[in-house]
């Protein structure tokens, strides 16, 4: 995990008045290191393989904690998690994930030319604070 990501992580924990535990740090470090979508069970197996054993309920709680702080994203369609690649950005994150190889590219609504907030407002809606969009795609290698 680079210094910038670690700084944002510590700042968000402090602002949220949350405690940084070794288990929380281990999970986030592992998500950053793996740099691909992983399920909680895949994460459990990986951690067991490197000598760290956490029960699945703890892993899910920790993953939800990081998602709440916007340092990880849950890809609902795949029930997998990935670390946020642009944690300093305050826009709506768009998770583009390949349906074949699961390569994930994180972008934002501004770069993709999508005005999500205006569309929601037009419908009389407001986006949730921790929202992101998932777009199933086929990457250039798989299409």
- Could you give the CA distance from residue 61 to residue 54 in angstroms, rounded to a whole number? 11
The pLDDT of residue 9 is 87
The pLDDT of residue 1 is 67
- SS3 (DSSP) at 31: helix
For helices 56-68 and 40-49, what crossing angle results, to 10°? 110
Q: Which residues 6+ apart lie within 8 Å of 11 measured at CB? A: none
Q: Span 88-107, mean pLDDT?
A: 84
Contact 107, 96 (CB under 8 A): yes
Q: Span 70-94, mean pLDDT?
A: 85
């Amino acid at each position: 995990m680079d210094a910038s990501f670690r700084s944002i992580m510590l700042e968000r924990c402090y602002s949220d008045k949350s405690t940084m535990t070794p288990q929380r740090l281990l999970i986030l470090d592992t998500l950053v290191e793996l740099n691909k979508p992983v399920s909680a069970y895949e994460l459990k197996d990986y951690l067991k393989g490197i000598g760290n054993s956490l029960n699945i309920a703890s892993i899910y709680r920790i993953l939800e904690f990081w998602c709440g702080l916007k340092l990880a994203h849950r890809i609902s369609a795949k029930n997998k998690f990935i670390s946020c690649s642009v944690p300093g950005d305050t826009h709506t994150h768009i998770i583009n994930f390949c349906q074949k190889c699961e390569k994930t590219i994180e972008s934002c609504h501004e770069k993709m030319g999508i005005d999500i907030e205006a569309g929601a407002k037009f419908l009389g809606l407001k986006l949730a604070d921790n929202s992101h969009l998932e777009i199933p795609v086929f990457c250039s290698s798989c299409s």
